[in-house]
C-alpha cells in the first residue's frame, strides 16, 4: 500500500531538490531515509547489494545545495563503475573483493555536480545478459512480481527506483541495458547519444556501442540527472560539452511533434501479443489527442549480423585476456561473447563497420523527415526469474541469448538516443515500456517528447511500490 511508504521516499527527485534548496531538509536526512527504506524492502529484491553510507555521509557534509545541479541528492551507481574505496565487483568472482582507489570519471563528475554516492546497484557479470544475476551478488527480483526478471543489465538500478530505495540512478547500455530494465520495472531509462556522458575509455577508444545514461521514476527527474551527468571531461576526449540549454528545460517544454513515426517491430522482430495490445492502446491515445501517427521506420537490413560482429569484437578486445587466464571463473555468457570475437577475421570487422555506416546513413535520412519514432521498448513483458533470457516470442525462436533485444540495439547500432517510458501493463499486471527514439544528438527532442507523452498517459503516480510476491 502507498500509505506504508514514508512521505520523503514517495517524493520525486525534483521535489526533494526544492526541499534541499529551501533548507527544509539536508542530505543527511535523505541518506537516513534511504538507509531505512533499504532495510525495509531490499532484502526482498536485492537491488542494492553494496552500500557505502559512511562514505556518503562524509561527502554530504561538503555539498552546497545552492551551487550544484543535484544539490546533495543521492545517486545509486551501477556495479560496473569504480567508486573509490567502495567494493566494485563488476558481477565477477575474479573481482569479488576488489576495492578501487580511484573513481570512474562519471562518478567524479556526478560528485562534483552535487550527487552523493550511497550504493552500488546489481548487474550481471560485466553487464552481460538480459537477466540481472551474477555469481557474486546474486539475483535481482522484479518488485512488480518477485518471481519475475528485471531484465538487464541495469536491473538493480531499475528495481531500486521502483521500490523507493533510489530517487536517481546511473546505468549503462549496449543492447538496451538502460531501456529493458526500465520497461520491466515501470521507470524511465535513457540511452543518450554517444559522447554526451564522459567515462573512462577502457580498452577501445573507438567503441560506440556502450554508453552510460540516467534512470529515474519520471522524465523531469531523468532530465535533472542527465544535466548532472553530461559535459566534457579532459580524460575522455570523445566527451561533448554540456548543451547551452538544459535537459530540464526540454522536459518542462514537453513538446511532441504533430507528425510522429511509429513501428511495432521495425521490420526485424516478433512482438508478444500482450505488448502489442498495450502499445496499440498508446498509439490510439496519441491519435485521439490530435497527433498524426504514420507507420514507418528506417531500413534496418543486416542489423543482427552487424551488431553481433561489433559486439563480439568489443568483448574480445576488452576481456580476451580473462578468457585465456580465467575461463573457469567467468560466466558462460561472457565466455561465449569473447569466443565469438576471437573467431572474427579482419574481413568480418571491416564488413560490419561498412554496413553499419550504411545503416546509420539510412537512419539519419529517416530522422530528417520524422523527429520522433515510437516502438515498444521491449518485445515481451517481464519473464520468469529462472530463465536466462527470452528464447522465443510469438512462435519465433531466437538464434542466441540476446537477439530478443534487437528492437533496442537497433538504435544502439544506428547511434540514436532512445528512451524507455512506462506506458501500461500486461494482462497479468506487469509493466510495458514505450521506446522513443530520434536522430543522433537529438537527446533534447527525445526528452521533450517523452515528457509530453508522460503527461498524456498520466501513469507516473504508481511509484514507488512495495515489492509484490507472485
Q: Are strands 418-425 and 188-191 parallel, antiparallel or unpaired?
A: antiparallel
Q: Is residue 297 pLDDT above 60, yes or no?
A: yes
- In contact, 333 and 128? CB cutoff 8 Å: yes
**Run of H or E including 54:** helix 53-60
Provide the 10 A C-beta neighbour count for residue 71.
23
Q: What is the torsion angle, in degrees rounded to the nearest 10, for the CA atoms of residue 82, residue 312, residue 176 and residue 448?
A: 90
pLDDT digits (tens, 9 = 90+) for 231-277: 999 999 999 999 999 999 999 999 999 899 999 999 999 999 999 99
Instruction: Give SS3 for 304.
Output: helix
pLDDT in tens, 46-82: 999 999 999 999 999 999 999 999 999 999 999 999 9
Residue 437: exposure state from Cβ atoms within 10 A (0-12, 13-18, ≥19): buried
How much of the chain is in helix, strand and coil states, percent to nearest 5?
40, 15, 40
Q: Decide the pairing of beta strands 145-149 and 50-51.
A: unpaired
Mean pLDDT along residues 206-216: 93
Average pLDDT score, the chain: 96
- Residue 347: CB atoms within 10 Å: 8
pLDDT at 8 over 90: yes
Contact 418, 183 (CB under 8 A): no
The pTM of this model reads 0.97
pLDDT of residue 2: 64
Mean pLDDT, range 29-43, rounded to an integer: 98
**Residues forming beta bridges with residue 139, ordered by sequence position:** 133
- Interval 318-358: pLDDT, tens: 999 998 889 989 999 999 999 999 999 999 999 999 999 99
Mean pLDDT of 147-152: 98
CA distance 373 to 436: 6
Domains and their CATH numbers in the chain = 2-302+349-462 (3.90.1300.10), 303-348 (no CATH)
Mean pLDDT across 165-169: 98
pLDDT tops 90 at residue 167: yes
Cβ distance 372 to 446 under 8 Å?
Answer: yes
CA 241 to chain centroid: 22
Amino acid at each position: 500500500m502507498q500509505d506504508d511508504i514514508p512521505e520523503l521516499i514517495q517524493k520525486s527527485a525534483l521535489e526533494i531538490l526544492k526541499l534541499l534548496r529551501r533548507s527544509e531538509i539536508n542530505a543527511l536526512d535523505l541518506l537516513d531515509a534511504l538507509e531505512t527504506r533499504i532495510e525495509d524492502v531490499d532484502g526482498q529484491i536485492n537491488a542494492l547489494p553494496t552500500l557505502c553510507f559512511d562514505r556518503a555521509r562524509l561527502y554530504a557534509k561538503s555539498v552546497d545545495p545552492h551551487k550544484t545541479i543535484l544539490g546533495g541528492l543521492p545517486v545509486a551507481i551501477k556495479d560496473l563503475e569504480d567508486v573509490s574505496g567502495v567494493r566494485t565487483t563488476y558481477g565477477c568472482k575474479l573481482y569479488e573483493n576488489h576495492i578501487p582507489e580511484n573513481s570512474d570519471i562519471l562518478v567524479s563528475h556526478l560528485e562534483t555536480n552535487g550527487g552523493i554516492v550511497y550504493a552500488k546497484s546489481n548487474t550481471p557479470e560485466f553487464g552481460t545478459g538480459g537477466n540481472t544475476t551474477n555469481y557474486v551478488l546474486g539475483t535481482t527480483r522484479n518488485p512488480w512480481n518477485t518471481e519475475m526478471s528485471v531484465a538487464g543489465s541495469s536491473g538493480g538500478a531499475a528495481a531500486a527506483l521502483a521500490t523507493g530505495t533510489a530517487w536517481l540512478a546511473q546505468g549503462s547500455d549496449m543492447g538496451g541495458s538502460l531501456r529493458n530494465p526500465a520497461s520491466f520495472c515501470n521507470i524511465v531509462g535513457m540511452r543518450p547519444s554517444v559522447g554526451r556522458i564522459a567515462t573512462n575509455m577502457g580498452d577501445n577508444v573507438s567503441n560506440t556501442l556502450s554508453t552510460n545514461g540516467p534512470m529515474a521514476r519520471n522524465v523531469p527527474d531523468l532530465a535533472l540527472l542527465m544535466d548532472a551527468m553530461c559535459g566534457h571531461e579532459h580524460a575522455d576526449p570523445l566527451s561533448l560539452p554540456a548543451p547551452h540549454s538544459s535537459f530540464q528545460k526540454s522536459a518542462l517544454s514537453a513538446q511532441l511533434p504533430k507528425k510522429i513515426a511509429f513501428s511495432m517491430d521495425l521490420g526485424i522482430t516478433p512482438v508478444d501479443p500482450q505488448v502489442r495490445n498495450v502499445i496499440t492502446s498508446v498509439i490510439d491515445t496519441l491519435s485521439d489527442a490530435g497527433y498524426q501517427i504514420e507507420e514507418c521506420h528506417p531500413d534496418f537490413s543486416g542489423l543482427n549480423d552487424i551488431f553481433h560482429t561489433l559486439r563480439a569484437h568489443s568483448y574480445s578486445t576488452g576481456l580476451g585476456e580473462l578468457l585465456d587466464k580465467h575461463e573457469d571463473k567467468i560466466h558462460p555468457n561472457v565466455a561465449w561473447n569473447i569466443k565469438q570475437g576471437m573467431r572474427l577475421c579482419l574481413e568480418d570487422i571491416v564488413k560490419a563497420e561498412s554496413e553499419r555506416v550504411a545503416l546509420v546513413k539510412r537512419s539519419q535520412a529517416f530522422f530528417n523527415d520524422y523527429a520522433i519514432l515510437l516502438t515498444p521498448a521491449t518485445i515481451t513483458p517481464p519473464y520468469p526469474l529462472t530463465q536466462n533470457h527470452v528464447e522465443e516470442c510469438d512462435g519465433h525462436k531466437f538464434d542466441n541469448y540476446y537477439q530478443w533485444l534487437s528492437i533496442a540495439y537497433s538504435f544502439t547500432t544506428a547511434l540514436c538516443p532512445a528512451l524507455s517510458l512506462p506506458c501500461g501493463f500486461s494482462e497479468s499486471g506487469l509493466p510495458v515500456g514505450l521506446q522513443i527514439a530520434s536522430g543522433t544528438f537529438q537527446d533534447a527532442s527525445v526528452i521533450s517528447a517523452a515528457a509530453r507523452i508522460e503527461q498524456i498517459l498520466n501513469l507516473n503516480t504508481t511509484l514507488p511500490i512495495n515489492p509484490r510476491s507472485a
